[in-house]
Amino acid sequence: MLHSIGVIGLGVMGRNIALNMASRQEDVAVYNYTRDLTDDLMAHNEGLPVHPYYEVADFVQSLARPRKIFVMVTAGSAIDSVIESLIPHLETGDIIMDGGNSHFHDTERRFDQLQQHGIEYIGVGVSGGEVGARTGPAIMPGGTKEAYEQVAPILTKIAAQVNGDPCCVYIGPKGAGHFVKMVHNGIEYADMQLIAEAYSFLRVRLGLDVEEIADVFASWNEGELKSYLIEITADILRKKDDETGLPLIDVILDQAGQKGTGKWTSMQSIDNGIASSIITEALFARYLSAVKEERVAAATVLGGPEARETLDKDVWIERIRQALYMGKIAAYAQGFTQYRTSSELYDWNLRLEEIALIFRGGCIIRADFLNVISEAFAKDESLANLMLAPYFADKVQDYQTALRQVVAESSLSGLAAPCLSTSLTYYDSYRTANSNANILQAQRDYFGAHTYARTDREGTFHTEWQ
């Protein structure tokens, strides 16, 4: 019997995707470049219909046509190698899906390359980590609608489900799926950094111990901040180190890693003139964290402010909660603005309402508040900025004082809060009807005759300033 789908790449994500498919009545062929991972999967295949192949040709021939091949290898040249190895064995109409975090420009290039061979290519954003891959991730497929229709029964089945709806919808042509996943990760960077800054304030400024902070996060997870990232942060803070008995968080080195998707989100926003400052600031916070030795040396040279008075814990815990929520609104506003603007630029027709809906389950940024985001775009598809939706406009009106207090107190205490303060700056900049950019225009015209526009009539003007 021919198998209904094949999975190539049996690292953590690939093997879990294969098991997920097999656990939902798919008959799955698997192949890995090296034999060890295939053997390991077969030793732990939970009795599911997973069939190992050790040659690409045999693997491809074992699949029902049109062949559906899900590739889950490290983004980059490994994908190109897999594609090269598959092309000689595939036929017109066969479908390759790339489930990794590929750059959307690479996906577009591969799409064009495979079109020449009559092979369909779907760039599939997959979010949810190891557990999500096995039990139900959020899935963001981009390619031709026709190819998507062929794989939709499988992808929607293996995706997370929220209220009976799969967290998988057709996103758009070519690289659109990987683009949506990329910006999801940018939002993820900002969300994580905002949480880290709330933690710092609670720990450093309010002097709460780790267990108390875990309780604060757990209680926040009962309310409007309810989300996967808040939930796991409470869990993380309760974990003890086996060796020392200390909270594990206290023995984890404060140098953040990254694999590039947050950087790509920032670079894309810069290239396309989109102010994604909170996302970019989260990236820079990781970069600064990485220069640990320099920071340790600087701490002995560069002084901070005098110690300040003790703060009322209950009052400030609520202020931090509100500040965090408002920071989140601003960060998601930037991410969704990037979706809207890029969709217009690339003519993708991204449906923001649906993107928010599929983010409700499976993915790393899943959160209750995505329901409200989806509703906001459902009510007004062309909403210029999430903060302008009536629900969020009211919310930021209510919470801005808390954000200002937390940012001001952080600043006066010498506590870095890059994403919280950038959220506030973004909010204040965005609501400024008359900005200081007239000064910039005048300066540009003064030193470079770059010209300026006037407020009172159409045209391009230059002044002889001296």
Taking residue 310's Cβ as centre, other Cβ atoms within 10 Å add up to 9
Element (DSSP H or E) covering residue 329: helix 313-346
Q: Is 181 a catalytic residue?
A: yes
Asked if residue 32 belongs to a known ligand binding site, the reply is: yes
Q: Of the two residues 21 and 363, which places its CB atom closer to ligand 6PG in the complex?
A: 363
Three-state SS for 51? strand
Largest CA distance in the chain: 84
Q: Of the two residues 67 and 366, which places its CB atom closer to ligand 6PG in the complex?
A: 366
Q: Of the two residues 389 and 419, which places its CB atom closer to ligand 6PG in the complex?
A: 419
Burial class of residue 320 (count of CB atoms within 10 Å of its CB; 0-12, 13-18, 19+)? buried
Q: Of the two residues 123 and 319, which places its CB atom closer to ligand 6PG in the complex?
A: 123
Asked if residue 101 belongs to a known ligand binding site, the reply is: yes
Q: Distance between CA atoms of 208 and 201, rounded to whole angstroms?
A: 9
Asked if residue 74 belongs to a known ligand binding site, the reply is: yes
Q: Of the two residues 148 and 264, which places its CB atom closer to ligand 6PG in the complex?
A: 264
Q: Does 185 bind ligand 6PG (CB under 6 A)?
A: yes
Q: Distance between CA atoms of 387 and 326, rounded to whole angstroms?
A: 10
Asked if residue 127 belongs to a known ligand binding site, the reply is: yes
Q: Is 188 a catalytic residue?
A: yes
Type of residue found at 133: A
Asked if residue 163 belongs to a known ligand binding site, the reply is: no
Q: Distance between CA atoms of 350 and 142, rounded to whole angstroms?
A: 11
How do strand 50-53 and strand 120-127 relate by DSSP bridges? unpaired
Q: What is the DSSP string of 254-271?
A: S-----SHHHHHHHHHHH
Q: Which residue is nearest to ligand 6PG (CB)?
A: 127
CB of 157 to ligand 6PG, least distance (A): 19
> Using CB under 6 A, which of 364, 383, 386, 407 touches ligand 6PG?
364
Q: Does 363 bind ligand 6PG (CB under 6 A)?
A: yes
> Using CB under 6 A, which of 219, 258, 341, 441 touches ligand 6PG?
258
Asked if residue 105 belongs to a known ligand binding site, the reply is: no
> Using CB under 6 A, which of 188, 191, 197, 409 touches ligand 6PG?
188
Q: Distance between CA atoms of 115 and 117, rounded to whole angstroms?
A: 5
Three-state SS for 412? helix
Three-state SS for 361? coil
Which of 120, 188, 197, 281 is the catalytic position?
188
> Using CB under 6 A, which of 20, 32, 38, 101 touches ligand 6PG?
101
CB of 284 to ligand 6PG, least distance (A): 14
Burial class of residue 311 (count of CB atoms within 10 Å of its CB; 0-12, 13-18, 19+)? middle
Catalytic amino acids?
Answer: 181, 188
User: Interface with ligand 6PG by CB under 6 A: which residues?
Assistant: 101, 127-129, 185, 188, 257-259, 261-262, 363-364
Annotated binding-site residue numbers: 9-14, 32-34, 73-75, 101, 127-129, 184-185, 189, 259, 286, 444, 450
